Structure 1
Amino acid sequence: MGIVKISEELHEEIRKASGAMSRSINSQAEFWIKMGMMAELNPTLSYNELVRKLLLSESLTLQGLIND
């Protein structure tokens, strides 16, 4: 595990978002990093499509979680 230095302002935004999303600060930062990487690699996909792709990459079953 490494250390990433970020601004105090960004850390505060991560802290607020982590509370709203019921995640740890580290988990929230990791989620945003993953989503940012995916968005750069898949610029035509929407947020929902990126989340779906992330869930599928983690081998999670989406049956019953989405309405077709």
Structure 2
Amino acid sequence: MGLVKIDDELHEQVRQASAVMCRSINAQAEFWMKIGRLAEANPTLSFNDIVRQQLALASEGASEDDSATRAAA
């Protein structure tokens, strides 16, 4: 874990967004960083496309976890 220095104005924007989105300030900042990284790597995708893609990947991961749990039982 590391520290990221951001200016006061951006910190306030993160704080406000975190309250609206019911996330911690750190979770909100992490979300924005992840979406920004994915947007840079995939410039043709919209925000909604990126979120949809991430939800699909998370769903696949959950399905794999469920299969592993059933196999171990």
TM-score scaled to structure 2, two decimals? 0.76
Q: Matches of 2:59 and 2:14 in 1, distance apart?
A: 25
C-alpha RMSD of matched pairs (Å): 1.2
Comparing both structures, which one devotes a greater share of its residues to helix?
Answer: 2
- Show structure 1 runs of 5+ residues with no match: 62-68
CA displacement at 1:55 relative to structure 2: 2.1
Q: Percent identity?
A: 58
Please give the per-residue CA displacement for 1:23-66, whole angstroms capped at 9, x wherever unaligned: 00000000000000000000001111011122233x226xxxxx
Q: Select the structure of larger CA radius of gyration.
A: 2
TM-score scaled to structure 1, two decimals? 0.81
Q: How many residues align?
A: 60
Counting only pairs closer than 5 Å after superposition, residues 42-57 of structure 1 correspond to structure 2 as 42-57=42-57
- Show structure 2 runs of 5+ residues with no match: 61-73
